[in-house]
């Protein structure tokens, strides 16, 4: 495995290095929200359990947090950071609807208002996100700064994504299904795949970097098992501070990831069976919406609910709510 970090200020001329064109392969028309999958959709026999990188990361970070999100399905109020992440992702997804020459910083900024309106229409509770107009203005200014920073990292006029907001899914030999959403998949003329993930927090402190890289390995493993090809490059783009982390996976690396995920799933099954969901306090608690009912903070959790029918139907949060 090779991991390389780049700081914008350390690498003059980076724009050209990271903006290699990646035209769409014939037969892989650009679209949005499509799924690369080896598992047939309905109808079919009952499908096995599934796991996403976000939920896997939750369990690794704090088993009780996993329980609250997956078993209890407790609502989490929208936070400005999380909603900002969703908005920035939406704008960057829509930006590639424009013809290449029109993907400019001004075009991205112009997408903010309509995308924000669309989000508020879909989730009226977002109207109460801010205490006052000043707070809203500061939040919007940060959205604009992140979009401007994106253009310092790569030139979208030179990129033709194969997919955006791509749902990937694959089934392991054990029957466990891996699934997740990839922000962008670029495919080079030779067929090499590059997974791109936008992060709207800063680049992670060292203790969180493992979680971010685990998420990327998870995506790479899923694509490998779904398509039979190891992605050439995984690229995390931190729009909070203009840093890029690039990771080149290989088969040995992904096999180790597969073993880790299988072991993790066994641990989740064991915790489910034993109804044993222990809190694991750490920096993640700063972003956790459930401190009031967490024993680590003097709270009392509700009784463990019976198993939901489909543990995989929990929506994926955007990345803005946590440091990774």
162 binds ligand SF4 (CB under 6 A): no
Among positions 233, 237, 294, 321, the unique one binding ligand SF4 when judged by CB under 6 A: 294
Among the candidate windows 3-11, 58-66, 94-102, 246-254, which touches ligand SF4 by CB under 6 A? Answer: 58-66
Of the pair 102, 207, the CB lying nearest ligand SF4 is at 207
Of the pair 189, 295, the CB lying nearest ligand SF4 is at 295
Q: Give the nearest distance from C-beta 318 to ligand SF4 in angstroms.
A: 18
Nearest to 259 by CA among 231, 217, 206, 197: 217
Number of Cβ within 10 Å of residue 319's Cβ equals 24
Of the pair 227, 291, the CB lying nearest ligand SF4 is at 291
Q: Give the nearest distance from C-beta 315 to ligand SF4 in angstroms.
A: 18
Among the candidate windows 13-21, 32-40, 62-70, 222-230, which touches ligand SF4 by CB under 6 A? Answer: 62-70
Q: Give the nearest distance from C-beta 240 to ligand SF4 in angstroms.
A: 21
Distance CA 223, CA 162 (A): 14
Of residues 232 through 291, those in contact with ligand SF4 by CB under 6 A are 279-281, 284-285, 288, 290-291
Of the pair 65, 268, the CB lying nearest ligand SF4 is at 65
Distance CA 218, CA 254 (A): 8
Q: Give the nearest distance from C-beta 302 to ligand SF4 in angstroms.
A: 13
**Count residues contacting ligand SF4 (CB under 6 A)?**
14
Of the pair 46, 303, the CB lying nearest ligand SF4 is at 303
Q: Give the nearest distance from C-beta 298 to ligand SF4 in angstroms.
A: 11
Q: Give the nearest distance from C-beta 178 to ligand SF4 in angstroms.
A: 24
107 binds ligand SF4 (CB under 6 A): no
Q: Output the CA angle 268-271-277, nearest 5 degrees.
A: 110
Q: Give the nearest distance from C-beta 292 to ligand SF4 in angstroms.
A: 9
144 binds ligand SF4 (CB under 6 A): no
Residue recorded with tokens 């369990």: 59
Q: Give the nearest distance from C-beta 165 to ligand SF4 in angstroms.
A: 27
Distance CA 256, CA 224 (A): 13
Of the pair 176, 294, the CB lying nearest ligand SF4 is at 294
Of residues 302 through 321, those in contact with ligand SF4 by CB under 6 A are none
CB 180 within 8 A of CB 165: no
Q: Give the nearest distance from C-beta 278 to ligand SF4 in angstroms.
A: 9
**Residues at the site binding ligand SF4, with contacts judged by CB under 6 A:** 62, 64-65, 279-281, 284-285, 288, 290-291, 294, 296-297
């Amino acid at each position: 495995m090779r991991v390389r970090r780049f700081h914008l200020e350390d690498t003059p001329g980076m724009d050209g290095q990271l903006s290699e064109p990646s035209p769409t392969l014939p037969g892989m028309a650009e679209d949005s929200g499509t799924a690369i999958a080896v598992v047939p959709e309905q109808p079919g026999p009952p499908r096995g359990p599934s796991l996403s990188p976000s939920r896997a990361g939750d369990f690794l970070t704090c088993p009780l947090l996993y329980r609250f999100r997956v078993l209890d399905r407790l609502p989490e109020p929208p936070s400005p950071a999380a909603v900002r992440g969703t908005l920035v992702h939406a704008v960057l997804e829509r930006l590639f609807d424009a013809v290449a020459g029109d993907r400019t910083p001004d075009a991205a900024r112009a997408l903010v208002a309509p995308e924000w309106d669309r989000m508020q229409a879909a989730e009226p509770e977002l109207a109460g996100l801010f205490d006052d107009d000043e707070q809203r203005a500061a939040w919007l200014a940060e959205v604009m700064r992140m979009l401007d920073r994106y253009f310092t990292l790569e030139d979208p006029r030179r990129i033709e994504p194969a997919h955006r907001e791509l749902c990937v899914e694959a089934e392991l030999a054990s029957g466990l299904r891996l699934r997740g959403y990839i922000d962008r998949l670029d495919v080079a003329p030779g067929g090499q795949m590059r997974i791109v993930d936008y992060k709207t927090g800063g680049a992670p402190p060292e203790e969180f970097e493992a979680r971010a890289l685990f998420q990327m390995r998870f995506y790479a493993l899923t694509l490998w098992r779904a398509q039979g090809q190891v992605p050439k490059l995984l690229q995390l783009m931190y729009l909070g501070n203009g840093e890029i982390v690039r990771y080149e996976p290989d088969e040995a690396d992904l096999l180790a990831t597969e073993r880790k995920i299988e072991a993790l799933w066994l641990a989740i099954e064991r915790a489910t069976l034993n109804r044993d969901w222990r809190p694991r306090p750490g920096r993640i608690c700063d972003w956790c919406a459930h401190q009031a009912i967490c024993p680590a903070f003097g709270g009392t959790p509700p009784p463990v609910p019976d198993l939901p029918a489909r543990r995989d139907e929990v929506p994926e949060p955007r990345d803005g709510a946590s440091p990774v």
